[in-house]
A and B are shown apart, each in its own frame.
Chain A
Amino acid sequence: GAVVSQHPSRVICKSGTSVKIECRSLDFQATTMFWYRQFPKKSLMLMATSNEGSKATYEQGVEKDKFLINHASLTLSTLTVTSAHPEDSSFYICSANGLAGGEQYFGPGTRLTVT
């Protein structure tokens, strides 16, 4: 149980285009989902927290107009990187809390490369 999937696992896009990453909780309902970014050989940095049906809360320094987060249902959150640039290339990881809160369950990550 408690499986979180991400799609796609890898994506390459051209500079200036937008790319959407999906995060799904497969066997549980997630009241809260989190989006992290991980630079090479670095730790995970929390980008934003999203609760189903409400606006995401972004961490300081994260551009909300660039990283659009939608949490339309209890099993799906999406992160859209708009007008992507090479510096947006990174490993993006989502996680989800169950309805009871507590532990976060992590997705396998999405490797984004912007050329």
Chain B
Amino acid sequence: AQSVTQPDIHITVSEGASLELRCNYSYGATPYLFWYVQSPGQGLQLLLKYFSGDTLVQGIKGFEAEFKRSQSSFNLRKPSVHWSDAAEYFCAVGLWNNDMRFGAGTRLTVKP
């Protein structure tokens, strides 16, 4: 069955510290991979996406993600977290022109 797993429901990091949010997927084929961020009461903002090619993807706001086929993972990273990064982060997978499946989300809290 197709699924997306974000193992961490809530993560707290100190401002300036590095961040890694985990995402694993189970799909019949290599899907397209996305990371979105959502602030409270707001819609989704695309951080980055992977379709093919270089497995290290750069996104907006200093985020990057690495696709590892052998581990079926697409973890999101940021070297230095800012207080404004506090939000909910969703990993999503999809097939071309098809619906997307979202992970349960990881809530990021940033300590001063």
Using a CB–CB distance below 8 Å, which chain A residues touch chain B? 31-32, 34, 41-46, 49, 93, 95, 97, 101-104, 106-109, 111
Contacts and interface: CB of A to CB of B under 8 A. Distances in A.
Given A107-B43, A109-B43, A111-B41, A44 B90 contact: yes
B97 A32 contact: yes
A101 B96 contact: yes
B103 A109 contact: no
Interface of A is mostly: strand
B87 interface: no
A43 B43 contact: no
Contact of B42 (A45, A97, A109): A109
Contacts, number: 46
Q: Range of interface residues on chain B?
A: 20 to 34
Interface of B: 32, 34, 36, 41-44, 46, 49, 51, 90, 94, 96-97, 99-105, 107
Contacts of B51: 102
